[in-house]
Amino acid sequence: MIKKVFLTPLQKFVKLEGFSGILLLLSTIAALVWANSAFGDTYSSIWEYKLGVTTDSFELKKPLILWINDGLMAIFFFLIGLEIKREILIGELNSMKKLAFPLFGAVGGVLIPVGMYIFLNENPETFRGWGIPMATDIAFSLAVLNTLGKRVPLSLKIFLIAFAIVDDIEAVLVIAVFYSGTIKISLLLIALILLCVLYFLSYKGYYSKFIMLFTGIVVWVLFLKSGVHPTVAGILLAFSVPIRQKIKTSTFVEQLEIVFNDVKKASILKKPILSDEQLSSMDDLDDWSRKFRSPLQHLEHSLHGWVAYFIIPLFALANAGVYIDSAGVDVDLVFHIILCLVLGKGLGIPIVVLLAEKLNLVQIPSDITKRHILGVSFIAGIGFTMAIFIAGLAFTSHPEYISSAKIGILLGSLISAIIGFLILRFTTKEIVNK
Residue 430: predicted pLDDT: 44
The 3-state secondary structure of 276-287 reads HHHHHHHHHHHH
The string of pLDDT tens digits covering residues 319-363 is 888 777 666 789 999 999 999 999 999 999 999 999 998 998 888
Question: Would you say residue 21 has pLDDT above 50?
Answer: yes
Bridge partners, 62 (sequence order): 51
The predicted structure's pLDDT at residue 349: 93
What is the average per-residue pLDDT within 375-392?
90
Measured CA to CA in angstroms, residue 414 lies from 46, 138, 309 at distances of 27, 14, 21
- Summary mean pLDDT of the chain: 82
- Sketch the domain layout of the chain as residue ranges: 11-57+94-179+322-433, 249-289
Is the pLDDT assigned to residue 8 strictly greater than 60?
A: no
For 185-224, how does the pLDDT look when each residue is reduced to its tens digit (9 = 90+)?
899 899 999 999 999 988 887 888 899 999 999 999 998 8
Q: Is residue 434 pLDDT above 80, yes or no?
A: no
83 HSE (CA, 13 A, CB side): 24
CA angle 391, 395, 401 (to 5 degrees): 85
pLDDT reported for residue 128: 92
What pLDDT is attached to residue 396? 86
CA neighbor of 345 nearest in space, from 357, 337, 355: 337
User: Which tens digit of pLDDT belongs to each residue from 86-108?
Assistant: 877 877 667 777 778 888 988 99
Q: Can you tell me the distance from the alpha carbon of 42 to that of 47, in angstroms, rounded to the nearest whole number? A: 9
Query: Is the pLDDT reported for residue 280 higher than 80?
Result: no
Q: How confident is the model at residue 3 (pLDDT cuts 50, 70, 90)?
A: very low
pLDDT digits (tens, 9 = 90+) for 247-273: 666 676 777 777 777 666 656 655 555
Percent of the chain having pLDDT more than 70?
Answer: 84
pTM of the model: 0.73
Q: Which CATH architecture has domain 11-57+94-179+322-433?
A: Up-down Bundle (1.20)
Closest by CA to 131, choosing from 117, 121, 141, 120, is 117
Q: What is the pLDDT of residue 24?
A: 81
